[in-house]
């Protein structure tokens, strides 16, 4: 637990004090956010606000992970096997960094062109597929070689599973490695685009991501305390996952980094996370669902992202089939802006919706454990 707390604290401090530096640097580089002409008229006042702020909390998360590992050296001997960096960390941080890199290219092109159209849809889609495929393969083909004090291998799990999962793996839904890679790619695409679509108002995506990442930190730490690979835990209702403490550490670090960034990103925003941050967070959240074996639970845990994404899908289908719009504008947050709601009201109320989804998901997760125990 100490390592997780250290990672959270380090990430928060770096992000809190590093973001003002990023604001000055990006302002000096004239890396201002272009605003879509067809967007809500009130957004034109945000034109020129520094973007690409996601670079700060991505770097803060990586640095905090290293700091958390330094704290792991004081753990008891039977837990020392997790002191060394693992494939789990490579996959999770890789998904965050390289998804963020795709977003950075998009942001860079927007700033360079002075236009809201950055990387084209095909280019962004290709980047998401490539990142999902590469780290999906790594997650499925590198089993753990953790050993106990006697030299016996105690955990041969891979980061991802070849079965679909809800709260645990569902044995009846075996899909094989190729199918699993495809599912991982789809989850990465869905999560990155979901967070990106939610990132339309000051602090909205940041605050919602904090809740989801904090929930994953709790889930992963609970799995660590009831881990099948732990020689001191012999109950049959343990969790078959790989490196849950690593997952909790990274989720906590990312949540802490986002809280520090939110100090400057809340209304009125001094800096935007940009596609750099939105895609980076989406990639990490997808990795969390994959590594904790809770892929289908993500639909509830990230309920706000799902609702906002579906509002866009509904709008497109309705307009193309009937020529009529269901919402004044999509994504959904812009519909309420045009309905007269203030930006702060929308953000706070949407945060409440995000919190409800997180609470329901955590309730289902814990109730499954209680059912297994009984």
pTM, to two decimals: 0.93
The H or E element spanning position 136 is helix 121-141
Asked whether 301 and 209 are in contact (CB, 8 A), the reply is no
286-340 per-position pLDDT tens digit: 999 999 999 999 999 999 999 999 999 999 999 999 989 999 998 999 999 999 9
Interatomic CA distance for residues 159 and 300, integer angstroms: 22
In this predicted structure, what is the pLDDT of residue 39? Answer: 61
Which band of pLDDT confidence, cut at 50, 70 and 90, is reported for residue 8?
Answer: very high
What pLDDT is attached to residue 76?
55
Tokens of 231: 């020689």
Over residues 112-129, the mean pLDDT reads: 84
Question: What's the confidence (pLDDT) of residue 116?
Answer: 66
Q: Which pLDDT band, with edges at 50, 70 and 90, does 110 fall under?
A: confident
Residue 111 has what pLDDT? 86
pLDDT recorded at residue 49: 87
Mean per-residue pLDDT, 239-267:
95
Per-position DSSP letters for 64-119, written without gaps between them? HHHHHHHHHTTS-GGGGGGSS--HHHHHHHHHHHHHHHHHHHHHHHHHHHTSS--S
Average pLDDT over residues 349-353: 97
The residue among 85 and 153 whose pLDDT is bigger is 85
Give percent of the chain with pLDDT exceeding 90: 72
* pLDDT above 80 (res 82): no
Confirm if 245 and 3 have CB atoms less than 8 A apart.
yes
pLDDT at residue 241 is higher than 70: yes
Does position 155 have pLDDT exceeding 70, yes or no? Answer: no
Q: In this structure, how many other beta carbons lie within 10 angstroms of the beta carbon of residue 77? A: 8
- Please tell me whether residue 292 adopts helix, strand or coil conformation: coil
Q: What is the distance in angstroms between the CA of the first residue and the CA of the last residue of the chain?
A: 27
Q: How far is CA 315 from the centre of its chain?
A: 25
Could you please report the per-residue DSSP string of 327-374?
A: SSSSSHHHHHHHTT--HHHHHHHHHHHHHHHHHHHHHHHHHHHHHHH-
Instruction: Say whether pLDDT at 117 is over 90.
Output: no
Q: Give the model's pLDDT for residue 333.
A: 93
The residue assigned the tokens 């400057």 is: 264
Output the CA torsion sign for 251, 257, 262, 265. negative
Check pLDDT > 50 for residue 12. yes
pLDDT at 219: 97
């Amino acid at each position: 637990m100490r390592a997780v707390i250290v990672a959270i604290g380090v990430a928060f401090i770096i992000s809190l004090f590093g973001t003002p530096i990023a604001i000055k640097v990006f302002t000096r580089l004239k890396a201002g956010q272009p605003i879509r002409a067809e967007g809500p008229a009130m957004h034109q006042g945000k034109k020129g606000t520094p973007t690409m702020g996601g670079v700060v909390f991505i770097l803060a998360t990586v640095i905090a992970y290293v700091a958390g590992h330094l704290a792991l050296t004081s753990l008891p001997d039977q837990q020392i096997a997790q002191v060394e960096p693992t494939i789990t960390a490579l996959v999770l941080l890789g998904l965050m960094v390289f998804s963020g890199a795709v977003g950075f290219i998009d942001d860079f092109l927007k700033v360079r062109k002075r236009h809201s159209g950055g990387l084209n849809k095909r280019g962004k889609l290709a980047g998401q597929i490539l990142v999902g495929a590469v780290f999906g393969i790594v997650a499925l083909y590198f089993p753990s070689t953790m050993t106990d004090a006697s030299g016996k291998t105690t955990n041969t799990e891979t980061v991802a599973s070849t079965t679909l999962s809800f709260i645990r793996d569902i044995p009846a839904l075996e899909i094989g490695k190729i199918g699993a890679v495809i599912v991982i790619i789809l989850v990465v695409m869905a999560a990155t685009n979901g967070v990106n679509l939610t990132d339309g108002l000051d602090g909205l995506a940041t605050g919602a991501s904090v809740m989801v990442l904090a929930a994953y930190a709790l889930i992963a730490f609970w799995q660590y305390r009831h881990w099948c690979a732990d020689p001191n835990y012999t109950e049959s209702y343990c969790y078959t996952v790989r490196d849950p403490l690593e997952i909790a550490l990274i989720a906590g670090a990312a949540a802490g980094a986002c809280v520090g960034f939110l100090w400057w990103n809340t209304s009125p925003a001094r800096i935007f996370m940009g596609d750099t941050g939105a895609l980076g967070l989406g990639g990490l959240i997808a990795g969390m669902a994959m590594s904790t074996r809770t892929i289908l639970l993500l639909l509830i845990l990230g309920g706000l992202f799902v609702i906002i994404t579906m509002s866009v899908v509904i709008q497109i289908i309705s307009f193309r089939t009937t020529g009529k719009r269901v919402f004044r504008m999509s994504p959904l947050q812009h519909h309420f802006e045009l309905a007269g709601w203030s930006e702060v009201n929308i953000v706070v109320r949407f945060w409440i919706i995000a919190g409800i989804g997180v609470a329901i998901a955590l309730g289902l997760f814990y109730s499954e454990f209680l059912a297994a125990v009984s």
